[in-house]
Amino acid sequence: MADIARVTLGLTRPGPSNAPKISFVAKDLDVLEWNGDLVAVGVREKDVEKDEAGHFKNPLLYQLNEALGGLLAEASSEEDFSGKSAQSLVLRVSGLRFKRVGLFGLGQSASSAAAFVGLGEAIAAAAQASRAASLALSLAFSEDLSAESKPGIASAIALGIVNGIFDDNRYKSNPKMTLLQSVDVLGLGFGPNMEKKLKYAEYVSSGVVFGKELVNSPANILTPGQLAGEVLKITHKYHDVLSAKIFNEEEIIEMKMGSYLGVTAAATANPPHFIHLCYKPPGGSVSTKLGLVGKGITFDSGGYNLKTGANSNIETMKNDMGGAAAIFGAAKAIAELKPPGVEIHFVVAACENMISATGMRPSDIVTASNGKTIEVNNTDAEGRLCLADALIYTCNLGVEKIIDLATLTGACITALGPSVAGAFTPNEELAKEVIDAAERSGEKIWRLPMEESYWESMKSGVADMINTGPGQGGAITAALFLKQFVDENVQWMHLDIAGPVWNTKKSVATGFGVSTLVEWVLKNVS
């Protein structure tokens, strides 16, 4: 990994991480007795309804409004706050123990984890805007919730708060620190189960932040070698449960990973690094082996099929390692949670896709490590070439199930938009497991068909296959390509995360995939 310490282009060095350090504590305390900066109350539309005298019908809102001399009801009417999703109303108050009170809308109902994660993000934005160091979280409808659901809801909101408050300012010359330090959860109960779920949110959000930092880092900083270096850092920190093997170019050649090498070996000054991170549980007893494979293209120029034009998005191609970031973010969270009975292999064939006189050309034929040959008809479909050898390697580890995550196709964004990942699998059981895990995490995944008849369009006249099919159904043919490199005895799912991995409005990473992967792993614990 000689490229880790070399002088980077532009002499840029990242500053320290601004990962939030927030204490989440559930307390048995009345809202009006809480002392701090901001009281944040989640409300549904029916919670904001008033009687003929203009008083809130909801007990908590009625109590707050009375303490404020009717100001809350008056402001909600003037600003047309009705509790709709994404609406918020924040007031500076006096004469109470807290400085501000805010109402945050959840719409007609609040039943999904995604809604509560979104609530947490909205509360975080208000806390940041008001420079709050302390926050009290409450729900106007907590009495309508079952005791069993409350810890999970609190956890989802906590995850949203950390996601929303995090500002990756490592590359800014005058970074501002996060002020929020404590969140007290009121009215949702307390005890060991609540403490466990809040701690879970802390660990998962830490993994999400790590994933975001990886994706946000530019390609002149996060080379394949530096990505391997970041993995070694978390391995050293959690050496009790994590170990890592990093293979260099000579070792990759020995493993006959020609599909992977075709992308990277001759076209870049930054050499490839094949990364294998392994989690083994404390105690050593293992009944289930899982594989997580991530696409790790630290920059994708498109190669000779160069990304050009206004809509090529070449300027965002540092995010082409979003799959790798997701699995390593999950690894960090899992190392904290230490689930028993499950062994997990995190595998990434990391490299750049660049242009050189000795680089891969359209019509070249490469040979994957299982002997299958691929005619490269498009050098910009490089991620699947790297994933092919990574999937073969992971299957050979004896895993029972594999999920791969990749920013693989623009076609999936066309089909599902920027917020939803596409899921492909021939296995019904695995499909249910992962989709259920996504629903519990608040991330959005939609299963798309693996139409086998489309494979005919992937046949080559001179090799076993080509690496891209016709323009139609590109996300499906990409999944069918990957399927050729998965052992038929291994349950496998491909997640195309090209859309949700990146927030185009803010031009930052989302950390997508980490939460779902952690949920899925925990459901596979014996």
Active site amino acids: 307, 384
Residue 209 CA to residue 20 CA, distance in Å, equals: 9
Contact call for residues 475 and 416 (beta carbons, < 8 A)? no
DSSP output for 144-180: GS-TTTHHHHHHHHHHHHHHHH----TT-SS------
Report CA 254 to chain centroid distance, whole Å.
33
Amino acid symbol at 123: I
- Element at 446 (helix H, strand E): strand 445-447
- How far apart are the C-alpha atoms of 82 and 280, rounded to whole Å? 50
Map residue 129 onto helix, strand or coil.
helix
Helices within 25-69 (DSSP H only): 59-67
Residues 188 and 145: their CA atoms lie apart, in Å, by 9
CA angle centred on 175, ends 169 and 176, rounded to 5°: 105
DSSP calls for 174-238 = S-------EEEEESS--SHHHHHHHHHHHHHHHHHHHHHHHHHS-TTTS-HHHHHHHHHHHHHHT
Dihedral sign of CA atoms 479, 480, 485, 491 in order: positive
Q: CB 79: neighbour CB atoms within 10 A?
A: 13
Q: What's the CA gap between 265 and 253, in Å, rounded?
A: 9
Alpha helix positions (H), 220-308: 224-237, 249-254, 258-264
Mapped onto helix, strand or coil, the DSSP state of residue 432 is helix
The answer to whether 335 touches 210, Cβ cutoff 8 Å, is: no
Is 271:249 a contact under the CB 8 Å cutoff? yes
Which pair of tokens denotes residue 411? 């076609």
Determine the length of the chain.
Answer: 526
Are 334 and 279 in contact by the 8 Å Cβ rule? The answer is yes
* CA of residue 126 relative to chain centroid, distance: 23
